[in-house]
Amino acid sequence: MSIDLPTGSPPARVAFYNDPKARSIAYQVALCAVIGFLVYAAARNAIANLERAHIASGFGFWNTTAGFDISQALIQFDSQTSSYGRAFWVGLLNTLLVASIGIVIATILGFIIGIARLSKNWLVAKVAAGYVETIRNIPLLLQLLFWYNAVLKALPEFRESFVIPGGIYLNNRGLFIPQPIFKDGFGWVLIALAAGVIGAIAFYVWARKRQEQTGQQAPVFSVGLALVIGLPLVVLVLAGFPLAFEFPAAGRFNINGGIEILPEFAALLFGLSIYTAAFIAEVVRAGILAVSRGQTEAAYSLGLRARPTLRLIVVPQAMRVIIPPLTSQYLNLTKNSTLAVAIGYPDLVQVFTGTVLNQTGQAVEVVAITMAVYLTISLATSLLMNIYNSRIALVER
């Protein structure tokens, strides 16, 4: 492709080293090269020094038999046959479990308290303010130790377990609930559940469209409930009830069988959720206060009542302010879950950077893997929240 330059004097040619664009590219390439070289040199030096100090290096330990036991494993883990690599996955899943449940609880609790703090009811507002000021000013580690001791001290010993009808036991070793065991044919129930959820969403979309066109409202909630819960139940009965329960039973020292919820898990979950909820409450309060009072007044003057005003006018605008700091709180909760180490919950740091590091002695590799994992979790959380943020952000026309 050639461009005919207009006749006349050609633009003054600048030497490439005087061209600002070429220069800035050159600088960036040089900087990248220097950083790349530093990383390479550091890694090489590290390997050489480890070798000189006779410290084993490399990732050979990954497939070696672990030989220790982990109190909570979401996947099969056996001290005699499972590897250090599997211990890593056990720890990672435990971290993700407590972080994801913690995020859900902290969000719900935080929204309730944040809104309560703006309540016109004096007592409710003051209780919420007291909660926020107390909880967020006490170090999380102390709170975790408090919850752990509270859980252990308040609950009875194994011999005096609380027994709740239906095969539920509660003692200072944990909460034990029956575990559902799925037999052949349970797949149909899952299919029915999926169909129910899809049906409910379809009904919701249809009902909204109809309301926009005709103004008629449809019983979305009861129809949705029937589809999501009723349909699978009917299929469950038709399939001949392919579901059994494994009930916990008292052994000599412990309750065995069923699903076991450890006191360490409960304490960590309480501590993290309650602590983070205090911060989320402030984020939510700030978000709501950021919506100008005129918006509410305009909604009232259009005849909307308090609840729809909050739901349709205030919250959607507040969300734009809330989401970015909320993301930070989610990241904080996930990273704070590493304090599990203080109360013996087998999270990634406790299992991997604790036991595995010590049993293998390979600090550099283990710490590098752990840092990479937390970076990945945090970046993934950020990414999801940024996608959500860009969806609700103000679309400027």
Partner 1 sequence: MKRFASMLALGLIVVFAQSASAQTLKAVKDRGTLNCGANGTLAGFGLPDAQGKWTGLDVDICRAVAAAIFNDANKVKFVPLSAKDRFTALQSGEVDVLMRNTTWTSSRDSSLGLTFTGVDYYDGQGFMVRKALKVNSALELGDASVCVQQGTTTELNLADFFHAHNMKLKTVTFATANEAVKAYDAGRCDAYTTDASGLYAERLRLANANDHIILPEIISKEPLGPVVRQGDDQWFTAVKWVLFAMINAEELNITSKNIDEMTKSTNPDVKRFVGTEGNYGEQLGLSKDWAVRIVKLVGNYGESFERNVGQDSPLKIDRGLNKLWNKGGIQYAPPVR
Where along the sequence are the contacts to partner 1 (CB under 8 A)? 42, 45-46, 49-50, 52-56, 67-71, 79-80, 149, 152-153, 157, 172-173, 251-254, 256, 263-264, 341-344, 346, 350, 354-355, 357-361, 363-364, 367
User: Which C-beta is closer to partner 1: that of 120 or that of 159?
Assistant: 159
Closest CB to partner 1 among residues 35, 363:
363
Give the nearer residue to partner 1 in terms of CB position, either 274 or 339.
339
State the Rg of the chain over Cα.
29
Least Cβ distance, residue 211 to partner 1 (angstroms): 55
Cβ atoms 338, 349 nearer than 8 A: yes
C-alpha distances in Å from residue 370, one per residue of 264, 356, 367: 21, 11, 5
Q: Which C-beta is closer to partner 1: that of 24 or that of 256?
A: 256
Q: Is 311 helix (H, G, I), strand (E, B) or coil?
A: helix
Dist CA 192 CA 227 (whole Å) = 9
3-state DSSP assignment of residue 395: coil
Supply the minimum distance, in Å, between the C-beta of residue 62 and partner 1: 14
**Of 60 and 316, which CB lies nearer to partner 1 in the complex structure?**
60
Q: Cβ of residue 295: shortest distance to partner 1, in angstroms?
A: 48
330 vs 352, which CB is nearer to partner 1?
A: 352
Q: How far is the CB of 76 from partner 1 (least distance, A)?
A: 15
**Cα 285 to Cα 127: distance, rounded to the nearest angstrom:** 15
Task: Tell the smallest beta-carbon distance from residue 43 to partner 1 (Å).
Answer: 8
Quote the CA–CA distance of 211 and 8 in Å, as a whole number. Answer: 68
Residue number with CB closer to partner 1 (67 or 324): 67
Q: How far is the CB of 66 from partner 1 (least distance, A)?
A: 9
Q: How far is the CB of 86 from partner 1 (least distance, A)?
A: 14
CA–CA dist 119, 129 (Å, integer): 11
Question: Minimum Å distance from CB 325 to partner 1?
Answer: 27
Report helix, strand or coil for 241.
coil
Report the alpha-carbon distance of residue 375 to residue 371 in Å, rounded: 6
345 contacts 98 by C-beta, under 8 angstroms: yes
CB nearer to partner 1: pick between 163 and 197: 163
- What residue ranges in 220-316 does DSSP mark as E strands? 243-246, 249-250, 255-256, 259-261
Report the run of H or E that residue 173 belongs to, with start and end: none
Contact 245, 179 (CB under 8 A): yes
